[in-house]
Amino acid sequence: MPEPLRLKGIPASAGYAEGPLFNLDPDVARYRSKATAADERLALDTAIGTATGRLAKLIQATEGDAADILEFQLAMLEDDALTGPAFAAIAAGQPADAAWRQALDAEIAGYETSDQDYFRARAADMRDIRDQVLRALSDDSAAAAPAGAIFYGEDIAPTRFLETDWSAGGGIALKAGSAASHVAMLARSRGVPMIVGLGAVGLGAPPADLVGVALLDAEHGGIVLGPTRAEVEAFRQSSSSFAARRSRAETFLARPAVTKAGTAVRVQVNIADPSDVDGIDVSTCDGVGLMRTEFLFGKTLPDEETQYRAYRKVLEWAGDKPVTIRTVDAGGDKPVPGFTVEEGNPFLGLRGIRLSLARPEVFRVQIRALLRAAVHGNLKVMFPMVAVWDEYQRAAALFAEEQAAFAVRGVAQIMPPLGIMVEVPSVAIAPEVFSEVAFFSIGSNDLTQYVMAAARDNASVAHLNSIRNPAVLRLIASVAAFGRAQEIPVSLCGDAGGDPAAIPALIEAGLRELSVVPAQLAMAKAAIADVSI
């Protein structure tokens, strides 16, 4: 009996699956060369037809974003400009599989070298198209996975995910992959457990030897192959406890969050990209407590129109509910080429509002986009990393100047309420200095790391980085009390807000407004319902 193999990965879609491992990366499918070029041509033509037919059938059974991905692949496959070079290579004496691979690899290379993220990401679609036809060419009919299998391999194509019947269970464990991929998004929406980032070595053995049952824990991010009896027992318990927690939490999702004692708590969501709201039913939350804007600041600084559209999209989604947008918080662990500066100690350096004030020409573009977007909903704007009153005043003055300039030109705009993040200890210790801000939002991740002097990206001091340290909780309670006394709204938008273990302490500290990542919304509401305050 071989030893169990255990690997750690990153959860991409929470859940548990137990089943046989199915190898996603079989040995290169064997293609039998044909006798003549005419036969090669016929083989490729037939394979393209098979792949096209499969796609068309999949499209029938799919909707939304997934259908759009497939429509794009189908249109590509039906385009002679894609298939032409392969047929030309066959006429020149190449076998069908090599001809197709060469033609597609040339296209793929074109996408991979694009300087735009969006076009680069399409390379994955092109690889998917290539492999679908290669599969059809080698008549790889043995590629069907057994029901309830755990798909294991380098990466998984969207079409492979969509044509799999997940009703019998099963899951996905990838050596590479990304929690932000299309497939991860689909897996979350369908409740298919998935982990990514197992590493290049993976389970270590040649795939053919990976037989036996595997346990996939996509709540914590791990997989075990050939588990002991005790491991199977423990796994099944965690799995049923997770299912019970999830189904219990789901019943809370549609309802407003209330504690056992009847105290109402507003629960908002944190988002990092406008498309994050696409999968959220707006009626299940009280608005957006934190919309990050760093995503806009990729390789180039975003123009006003790009920002305006991104903000407007989320504001229109939220309707009357508030959307709190944070001005760009670059720097620290979030460098932006051409904007942030290299520093020895970036967490204590030129980041957040400090950087925005140092680069007013960049900041003013964001301010103009926010003023215009405010017309389309219930916008609130907050500044990150404020340490002294002067910073807030200068930022607010820039808003006033841009508003005045718009007024002269007759541009539609509204001045949103301006608040600040509470993450630098100076604000948490002396909130009275900031009694004129419209609201406070506690950034518990940064507040904790600054109070405890423990960098949050350093695993060796992770044990110090706890929001439940009495010093951190006392600061939070003091800000909440100050807000109550002065009638200044106080919310919390750090990771702790969605952590069921931290929620009781936060409510006890006086907070009545939390903002959590969308995936934690149901669990957070369920945890609030257990609090007896």
Identify which range of 28-36, 217-225, 241-249, 299-307 contacts other proteins by CB under 8 A. 299-307
Least separation in angstroms between CB 106 and other proteins: 11
Helices marked H in 92-199: 96-112, 117-121, 123-137, 158-162, 182-190
User: Tokens 């037989």 label which residue?
Assistant: 211
The one among 3, 27, 80, 432 contacting other proteins by CB under 8 A: 80
Determine the 3-state secondary structure of 149 from DSSP.
coil
Query: Cα separations (Å) of 237 from 1, 4, 130, 230, 428?
Result: 24, 19, 42, 11, 42
Note whether 77 and 53 are within 8 A (CB).
no
The one among 154, 165, 250, 278 contacting other proteins by CB under 8 A: 278
Verify whether residue 285 is a known catalytic residue: no
Q: DSSP per residue over 474-486, as a string?
A: HHHHHHHHHHHHH
CA 65 from centroid of its chain's CA atoms:
16
Find the binding residues for other proteins in span 85-114 (CB under 8 A): 107, 110, 114
The one among 79, 154, 209, 333 contacting other proteins by CB under 8 A: 79
The one among 25, 68, 281, 436 contacting other proteins by CB under 8 A: 68
Find the binding residues for other proteins in span 215-274 (CB under 8 A): 274
The one among 25, 233, 281, 316 contacting other proteins by CB under 8 A: 316
Residue-wise over 484-499: b if at least 16 C-beta within 10 A, else e? eeeebbbbbbbbbbbb
Residue 137 is a binding residue for other proteins (CB under 8 A): no
Least separation in angstroms between CB 115 and other proteins: 9
Residue 71 is a binding residue for other proteins (CB under 8 A): yes
Residue 368 is a binding residue for other proteins (CB under 8 A): no
Q: DSSP per residue over 259-318, as a string?
A: -TT--EEEEEEEESSGGGGGG--GGGSS-EEEE--GGG-SSSPPPHHHHHHHHHHHHHHH
The type of residue at 491 is: S
The one among 119, 240, 433, 530 contacting other proteins by CB under 8 A: 119
CA nearest neighbour of 160 among 139, 123, 135: 135
Identify which range of 80-88, 260-268, 367-375, 404-412 contacts other proteins by CB under 8 A. 80-88
Verify whether residue 182 is a known catalytic residue: yes
The one among 49, 53, 64, 199 contacting other proteins by CB under 8 A: 64
User: Tokens 């066959």 label which residue?
Assistant: 90
Binding residues (CB under 8 A) for other proteins: these are 64-65, 68-69, 71-72, 75-76, 79-82, 107, 110, 114, 116, 118-119, 122, 125, 274-275, 277-278, 303, 305-306, 309-310, 312-313, 316-317
For the annotated catalytic residues, the residue numbers are 182, 493
